[in-house]
Amino acid sequence: MPLGQALAPLLDLVFPPRCPLCGAALGSPAGLCAACWSTLAIPGEPACGSCSRPFGDTMPQGGTCAPCLADPPRHAGIAAATLYNEASRKLVLAFKHGNRIALAPMMADLMMPKLSAVDGGWLVVPVPLHRWRLWKRGYNQAAVLAAQVSRRTGARLAVDLLERRRPTPTLGGLGKLARQRALSGAITLNRRGARGLKGARVVLVDDVLTSGATSAACVSVLRRAGAERVMIACFARVLDEALPAAP
């Protein structure tokens, strides 16, 4: 038995596991308490056949949402574990800026139901972080999540396949054209790792999908390099209109 596994009961006794959202005691070191689980917003069906945007009860399953009709995406769908609300925001901030990388297994577990089609024939590629931000943060949260997805699906992890050659500003508040200008040429392909990309099926992993501009830039690079399908997988997706109405 590994030493860490053998010492786990003692560590749980001295440092009992706590819910990362409310601090309540847990029976196991992974997950949330029952009350906090209920605060996560899980995207349901029916949903858009192109981007998985929840429709509620307004359209049949497999229909196409207005944004996808207006601008058909190049990706092969968006697999989001949760919708971005207060609960998922706290988890993302703790994971991304609070060095709580131990949250990654739980977050990846929540992503798995939407990735049932992914197997060992796929590639798992994280959205890249510029080296300055990587140096400041110490890790790329998308790469940490991608490693967990790779471990669960058997798909090959290609952590350095994409590179962010120059830093980009915060895209929040920018219009579509301004976001495209900010990202133009920023995401590139690492040619050393690009062998075998032709005809490949790729899972592009990020922690949060906001406007979709960064992931769209990554998808474009991968498709131009020959990838046949690129699915986007994230822990949280910003779709305020799809969140349940507050009581």
User: What is the average pLDDT score of the chain?
Assistant: 85
Residue 77 reports pLDDT greater than 80: yes
All structural domains of the chain with their residue ranges: 1-38, 39-242
Percentage of the chain modeled with pLDDT above 90: 52
Residue pair 237/89 in contact by the 8 Å Cβ criterion: no
What per-residue confidence (pLDDT) applies to 191?
79
Q: What is the pLDDT of residues 150-168, one digit of tens each?
A: 999 999 999 999 998 876 6
CATH of 39-242, one of 3.40.50.2020, 3.40.50.300, 3.40.50.1100, 3.10.20.600: 3.40.50.2020
Q: Which tokens hold the place of 221?
A: 């690079």
Q: Averaging pLDDT over each range in 68-72, 149-153, 168-172, which range is the top one?
A: 149-153
Strands 229-237 vs 122-126: parallel, antiparallel or unpaired: unpaired
Model pTM score = 0.88
Higher pLDDT, 141 or 174: 141
Instruction: Note whether 111 and 73 are within 8 A (CB).
Output: no
Q: Look at residues 43, 6, 52, 8 and name the one whose alpha carbon lies nearest to residue 28.
A: 8
* DSSP state at residue 55: -
Question: Residues 104-151: pLDDT tens digits?
Answer: 999 999 999 999 999 999 999 999 988 888 888 899 999 999 999 999
